[in-house]
Homo-oligomer: A and B are copies of this chain.
Amino acid sequence: MLNRTRIVTAAVELIEREGADAVSMRRIAAELGVGVMSLYNHVPSKAALLDAVAEDVLSRIGFTDDPSAHWTERVRIQARAFRRIAHHYPRSTMVVVSRQLNSTAGLLPVERALATLREAGFDGGEAVRMLRMFIAYVVGSLLREVGVTPTFAPVRAGAAVAEVDPALFPLVSELRPQLDSCDHDEEFEFGLELLVQAMAVRAAARAGARTGGGEGERGGERAGRGGARQ
Q: Which residues of A contact B (CB under 8 A)?
A: 94, 97-98, 100, 102, 104, 107-108, 110-111, 114-115, 118, 124-125, 127-129, 132-133, 135-141, 143-144, 147-149, 156, 160-162, 164, 168-172, 174-175, 178-179, 182, 187, 190-191, 194-195, 197-199, 201-202, 205, 223, 225
The DSSP consensus for interface residues of chain A is helix
- Cα(A170)–Cα(B144), bound, Å: 34
Which residues from chain B contact A199 at a C-beta distance below 8 Å? 194
CA A138 to CA B136, docked complex, whole Å: 7
A76 CB, nearest partner CB in chain B, Å: 15
- CB–CB A164/B104 < 8 A: yes
B residues in contact with A127, CB < 8 Å: 175
Please state if A132 and B102 are interface contacts (CB–CB under 8 Å): no
Across the interface, do B172 and A111 meet the contact criterion of CB distance under 8 Å? yes
Which chain B residue has the least Cβ–Cβ distance from A225?
Answer: B205
* CB atoms of A191 and B143 under 8 A apart: no
Q: Which of B102, B141, B202 contacts A161 (CB 8 A)?
A: B102
